[in-house]
Amino acid sequence: MPIHQAFRFALDPSDRTRSALASHAGASRYAYNWGLALVKARLEAREEIRAAALRELLLDDEVEQLARTVEVPWNLPALRRAWNLEKATAGLWWAENSKEAYSSGLDALARALEGFAQARSGERAGTVGFPRFKKRWARRSCRFTTGAIKIVDDRHVQLPRLGQIRTLELTTKLRTALDAGRARVLSATVSEEAGRWFVSFTCEVERADAPATLADAVVGVDLGVKHLAALSTGELVANPKALDRYRRRMARLQRELSRRQKGSRRRAQSKGRLARTHARVANSRRDALHKLTSELASTYSTVVVEDLNVAGMTAAPKPVPNSAGGHAHNGRRAKAGLNRAVLDASPAELRRQLGYKLAWHGGILVVADRFFPSSKTCSSCGAAKAKLSLATRTYRCEHCGLEIDRDLNAALNLAAYGRRVLEQQHVAGSGPETRNARGGGHPRPRPKPPVKREDGTGSPDRTATVASQGAAA
């Protein structure tokens, strides 16, 4: 079964190629901002027509019919048509870059508008605001979907209008798959990170990964801060604590940056050093997560993790009223440190990687219910404690006398949970991931958010009107 997989390589461009890469990324940002300005102008024109029609006491249907005369380019085809009509005057230098650069920016805008409309209508979870203009210091990237996209050899790639670019890393793995017919390039995205340029090839790949070494084994994985993960086998995976390693350096560089004069050469140098430090933190974290998830997916056929409420775990502590009539923030500094450590461990990213890597090896990811008391339950006799503070690192059972590491106890309970789920639902081979939330394994429906109204007017606010207008357009 073919899957979509990305192959990312660091580039080693010349100065001329580096300028061309920056130009394409800038063209993508320009097209995004141009399209967003056009959408806003058309929406404001509709609002003016509505206001004028209402003053003339027209019927609602007549008002809407008049407003529809102004077309709002809400999707990619409409944005492309509008750009092709005005590109000669919108940017006199548009021919210097590949057409894919501008299409990339318009595609990003279309996705943002679609996400905003779906969130307002309740079709997708979460809150998505109306798109905003991209600043010059935003992340620079550009996506190519057509044209000469090739892996030339082990050290060179070819992109439209950019030509051949040398890579810092060997492309042998992807080139071999392409030559054997096991992969097909769908798109290529160039991006900049801390002064370095990367290219990411999205490919359709036929993978033939070996099944898990322990075919019938179920392992529970308890994610934590002291250790990155505790396995039910007794293994404790060390936490690299990437952010703690570079915190002092990042603080020093941040102070240095704040003291530099804006626009100066030294400020640019300090900003570059700070960006490279952030990149080292991200790379260290990413390396640890990939090594752990690859080892788990290739070894165990079933992996059980918790559905952690990271947003709740990292919420700010509630203020406590004091005798003076104010509020005291007891433990705020300690809670901030815990929140920083939890986010540094990236539990959601670990679960995401486990999901697709287990699918490669034919394994199953079982996600325990968010309210499953894995830490409070005794893994020996099943007795559960009413309370268990985070400071308690050793679990002691009052019923059977078991004394065990808190994280290991939770991992053992997760492994037992996974075995029960497999026995009850008979999901061996039914899918790569099994959710076991309340409601028979199906997510609870999310209620549609109410339409916000402006204070004292009773009329919907502009963002709700934008969503309805854009979706209809």
User: pLDDT grade, residue 138 (50/70/90)?
Assistant: confident
Give the per-residue pLDDT at 352: 93
pLDDT-derived band at 179, boundaries 50, 70, 90: very high
3-state secondary structure of 261: coil
Q: How many Å apart are CA 100 and CA 144, to the nearest integer?
A: 5
Give catalytic residue positions.
222, 306, 407
Q: Any idea where the domains of the chain sit in the sequence?
A: 1-208+455-473, 214-237+282-435
pTM: 0.78
Helix (H, G, I), strand (E, B) or coil at 342: helix
Provide the pLDDT for residue 207: 87
**Tens-digit pLDDT profile for residues 86-130:** 888 877 788 889 999 999 999 999 999 999 999 988 888 888 889
202-229 core/surface letters (b: 16 or more CB in 10 A; e: else): bbebeeeeeebeeeebbbbbbbbbebbb
pLDDT tens digits for range 258-282: 999 998 999 999 999 999 999 999 9
pLDDT at 377: 86
pLDDT digits (tens, 9 = 90+) for 346-386: 889 999 999 999 999 989 999 988 888 888 888 888 888 88
pLDDT of residue 224: 86
> Model confidence over 311-354: pLDDT tens digits?
877 887 777 666 666 655 666 777 788 888 888 888 899 999 99
- Looking at residue 313, its pLDDT comes to 77
Q: Is the pLDDT of residue 459 over 60?
A: no
Q: Is the pLDDT of residue 445 over 50?
A: no
Taking only Cα atoms into account, the Rg of the chain, rounded to an integer number of angstroms, comes to 27
- Judge whether residue 451 has pLDDT over 60: no
Residues 134-147 have a mean pLDDT of: 91
- If we measure between CA atoms, which residue out of 142, 144, 114, 145 comes closest to residue 130? 114
Tell me phi and psi for residue 345, to 5 degrees.
-75, -20
- Neighbour order of strands in the sheet with 214-223: 236-238, 227-231, 214-223, 300-306, 364-368, 433-435
Dig out the tokens for 38 from the structure.
């056009």
Q: How far apart are CA 62 and CA 52, in angstroms?
A: 12
Q: Please check whether residue 442 is in contact with residue 418, taking contact to mean a CB–CB distance below 8 angstroms.
A: no
List pLDDT tens digits, range 282-312.
999 999 999 999 999 999 989 999 988 788 7
Tokens of 74: 């809400």
Q: Work out the average pLDDT over 430-434.
A: 53
**CA dist 446 → 113, 124, 471 (Å):** 21, 9, 20
